[in-house]
Amino acid sequence: MKPVIDMNREYGLVFDGGGARGAYQIGAWKALEEAGVKINAVAGTSVGALNGALVCMGSVEQAEHIWEEMTFSNVMDVEDELMERLFQGEIPLRVLIKEMWQKVTDGGIDITPLRKFIHEVIDEERIRACGKEFCILTFSVTDFRELDLSIEEIEEGLLEDFLMASAYLLGFKNEPLHGKTYIDGGVINNVPTNSLLKRGYKDIIQVRIFGPGRVPRAVIPEEGSEYEVIPRVSLGSILEFSGKRSRQNMKIGYFDAKRMLYGLAGSIYYIEQTHEECYYVEIMKNIGELEKAEYRFKLKLPLNCADAELFLAMLEASAKLMRIQKYNVYTVDALWDKVCERYELLMETGRIEFPKFVHALTGMRKDYKMNLKGRNFLTLKDYTPAEIDYLLNLAADLKEKKKRGITGNSLKGKNIALIFEKPSTRTRCAFTVGAQDEGGIPTYLAGDEIQLGHKESIEDTARVLGRMFDGIEFRGFEQEYADILAESSGVPVWNGLTDTYHPTQCLAMLMTMREEFGYLKGLKVAYLGDGRNNVATSLLIGSVKMGVSVTICGPKQLWPSKELVEECQEYAKESGAVIEVTSDLDGVKGADVLYTDVWISMGEEKKEQERERISKPYQVNKELMERTGKSTTIFSHCLPAVKGKEVTEEVFESEASKVFEEAENRLHTIKAIMVATLGDMEEA
């Protein structure tokens, strides 16, 4: 999974007060640490101040241990057994109220144990040396003012005192510190975001536990960012200081932080969204609108909610009914499979009655199976958004397996012809390695080594090859050749590139975009340069089908054909994408991806001087990247690139450049195409 937050930024961490719920914050911190989020400042009040000190000490394991060993008597002068029995419901609440009220009337609940606890666990020296700014918020009753103190403003040796000062809840015995009386800072300001903002920090992560107290308004600067980790379930009482509750809350905080970090879907479960919206439209197309309305009403959803939202609600509700473990990160398909497996087991007993939507959900898994067996891959015009989504997910799965050293047998014994009229590095290597990874046998056929369209018609060559090979890749000049091979060979034909289309390149680009951003629909690609060439053409078709807006930005004489744009406008109506064709460089504004290709395509070498003259203003350089107005914009190129021409070396070699990630993804997407259209899927 890729974080949805900008990992290049440094963040200020804000912890609010909330007593025993504070264990949640340690769980969240653990997830942030694992993800590699850079924390350069921490602000907290009450228990948030204590947790902020632990963050500055730098050991997640130590903080976890502290909270796991937490007891009621670590905090206040009470009997652990009595408190545990109370929270377990074994004794009436009035017993505790009576005992606590007596303590309050005697001067307050004694929290001397908390002072001792703080002394034992806090290492002031480590905190001062950690390199993070640490801010504590409390309220001086004596001076009647809020104290917002950084570690540098606290005299050495007094940190423990101010941690105590920040934690004096109303009802606690309040002993003066250095002649002054304090109360819990959360009463005045329970979310000290402004402590960091006024010190110049702009990127903030708040970890909320919603203890009692005031929440002042905080305005994040326009150039800054704000993220919240928020519990969606009860964290218990602010006084429930027990190891059991702490362990539970740390687990919740850990997964809630993952939800924020990775943009996980789900209200109850933690679900990695691996499909585009088009997938859900496809799998739910056989459910009538009246039936969908019934399910939406049952699940308390808006009556106009999209199929994706409805499906996920059905999935979560079904998983909950079947008591499937909640604290885990699932892909949509993994959780769906678990639900279906549990459903089969429970239905065998004959004693379980499920709502109608559960039967519909499990039935969809049986009824819907993407089948591309025997299909050609000539242009993305021939593939629905759901089918493209399927290929992208299959490619991601095959990529993950390859990383783990797992090869498949889906193409075992399959002979694959690789016809190359045009030279190639990435396409040839991707088809060769992809076939071999899955047990296939590739055979390279250079254009000048066979009689393709010369002494023998293309139709006859196709009929010969179709009797000897199980699949054919074609990379050449004429799209017509690929079409005839597909019509006449009787086996799947895959377009490795023609002068008209380059569909495998677009598929690799879409995969790279989804890896980078986590989704496709709603993104924007700006293509610079020759909008007529095969890369631009396929990029336009494939992108708008997946809901990605496209701007073709280049000289007017190199714009794509009016017919193609009009055709793609129809796709855009379905997906919600926007198409723009312009000569104005402002067309790149808001782009998530800048894409370009060489100025001189194969076969156009005689036009080099003129083409360079009209294309030069559309070079992708640092200034153009900045013109997008987004710091997260990435650059890509189909390769090979002529650095210094269509792209500067500065951009090509920058962190924003994803050209080699896309080049690698040629392998995985091409492998997915072969496996889906030719392979035995159960062996994949």
Active site members: 46, 184
- The answer to whether 432 is annotated as binding is no
Task: Estimate the share of the chain in helix, then strand, then coil, as percent rounded to the nearest 5.
Answer: 50, 15, 35
The verdict on whether residue 503 carries a ligand-binding annotation is yes
- Residue 609 marked ligand-binding: no
Q: Which of 377, 388, 373 is nearest to 677 (CA)?
A: 373
As a whole number of Å, the end-to-end CA separation of the chain is 22
- Residue 286 in marked binding region: no
Alpha-carbon gap, residue 28 to 47, rounded angstroms: 15
Question: H or E element: which one contains 31?
Answer: helix 23-35
Number of H helices and number of E strands within the chain?
26, 18
Closest among 456, 5, 30 to 263, alpha carbons compared: 5
Tokens 């203890």 belong to residue: 211
130 is in an annotated binding site: no
Query: Which among 444, 437, 298 has a CA at the least distance from the CA of 360?
Result: 298
Strands (E), 402-548: 415-420, 441-446, 471-475, 493-497, 524-528
- Taking CA atoms, 533 is separated from 529, 559, 572, in Å, by 9, 9, 20
Ligand-binding site membership of 583 (annotated): no
Q: Is the dihedral of CA 83, 87, 91, 95 positive or negative?
A: positive
**Sign (positive or negative) of CA dihedral 260, 264, 265, 269:** negative
CB 365 within 8 A of CB 334: no
- Report whether 475 belongs to an annotated binding site: yes
Q: 594: helix, coil or strand?
A: strand
Residues 6+ apart with CB under 8 A from 490: 463, 466
Q: Is 639 annotated as a binding residue?
A: yes
Tell me the residue length of the chain. 684
Q: Check: CB of residue 242 under 8 Å from CB of residue 21.
A: no
Peptide bond into 560 cis (omega under 30): no
Task: For the beta carbon of residue 224, count every other beta carbon within 10 angstroms.
Answer: 15
Closest to 552 in 3D by CA, of 581, 510, 577: 581
CA atoms within 13 A on the CB side of 178: 12
**Which long-range contacts does 230-238 make (Cβ < 8 Å, 24+ apart)?**
230/256, 231/24, 231/256, 232/256, 232/267, 232/268, 235/18, 235/21, 235/24, 235/209, 235/210, 236/20, 236/21, 236/87, 237/19, 237/20, 237/87, 238/18, 238/19, 238/20, 238/21, 238/211, 238/212
Nearest to 13 by CA among 38, 46, 50, 47: 38
Contact between residue 590 and residue 524 where contact means Cβ atoms under 8 Å apart = yes
Q: Are strands 133-140 and 471-475 parallel, antiparallel or unpaired?
A: unpaired
427 is in an annotated binding site: yes
Element (H, E) at 228: strand 225-229
Instruction: Give residues with Cβ within 8 angstroms of 200, minimum separation 6.
Output: none
Dist. CA 103–CA 77, nearest whole Å = 10
As annotated, the binding site for carbamoyl phosphate includes 424-427, 451, 475, 502-505, 638-639, 666
As annotated, the binding site includes 424-427, 451, 475, 502-505, 534, 597, 601-602, 638-639, 666
As annotated, the binding site for L-ornithine includes 534, 597, 601-602
